[in-house]
Structure 1
C-alpha cells in the first residue's frame, strides 16, 4: 500500500471474489507475526473483507509483491544494547474516510531493539485532534507499564520510562492536566 493511498468503501467499483480476497488477507495476517512492517497495511485492507472491490485488491497485490521482494530482509537485534525501555506513539485524526475514526499506534524498544508494536483503530469518533494525540501516548504508557512489570519480574530493573510523542498539545496536557480545562471531556 502506498503512503498517500486511502482506501474507502468503493460502491461503484468492480466486485472481487470474496473468498479469494479473504484467503489472501488471512495469509498476510498470519505473516504479520514475523513482519511488523506490513501489519498496518494489512489491517487497513482487512476492513473491506465483507464486500471487496478491485480497488481493495490492488493494494493487497502490492503488499504481496513487497513481501516477495523483501523476503531476505530481517530485524537486527543487537546483543550489546542497553536495557532501557522506551515507547514511541503517534495517531492520525479522522484517518478513516468512511467512519472518521482515528488510528493510534506505537512501537516499543528495549535498548536499540524493537520488541513489540501496535496499531489500533480507536473505538469512538473524536472531535478534537488534541484528544486523539493524547489518547495515543496514554495507551502507550499503559503498555509500557505492563512491560516494565514483566521485565522487573525477570530481574531487569527499569528506571524512568520514556515515551516519545510528536504532538505539543499532548505533551503539555501530560505535563499539567489540571491547567487545561478544555481537556475535561477526555475520559480514559
Structure 2
C-alpha cells in the first residue's frame, strides 16, 4: 500500500479542482462553505459615516447596558489586510441606534471602541438596532490599522425586509448571523487596503 504525504495529496486535490481553501479548512468542490467576508484582496466597501458619529467614544467591549431592551447581539470577526494577513491592534469604533431606532446624541450609549488582538480578532457585545425612518437596521463601524487607511462603513442584517428599500444597503456588508441561546452571533471580517 502506498501512502501519499499530506502536502502531495492537497496539491493533487487543488490541481484537480477537488479541494478549495477556506482559511484553515478544506472542503470538497461544490460543497457549501462560509467565505471570508469579503474575499481577501477585495477591500471592505466604504459607506457614509452618517450624521450621528460622536468622537472619543469610550473603550468598551460591551455596549449593552442593564435594562436595555433589544435582542442581544455579539459581533465578532477579524481585521485582515488585502493579503489575508491579520491586522493586529486595529482600532474599531462602533455606534448604532437603540431597539427603537434612536441614537444617543448627548452621551455614549451604544457607542464605543475596541482594539483587535494580535491575530486581528475583535468582539463587541451589543443589541440588534431598530430601524429609523428611511433606513434598514444597521451598525456603523470605523476601522483603522496602524498602517492602513481609515475605513468607514456599515453592517447589515440578513433577511431584513428593509434592506430592499434602503438606498445605502450593500449585501457585501451583511453580518453572518446565527442564533446563540437567547441572542445572536454576528460575524464579519473586515479587509483593509
Do both share a fold (TM > 0.5)?
no
Could you state the TM-score of these two structures normalised by the residue count of structure 1?
0.21
Higher strand residue share: 2
Higher relative contact order (CA 8 A, sep 6+): 2
Higher helix residue share: 1
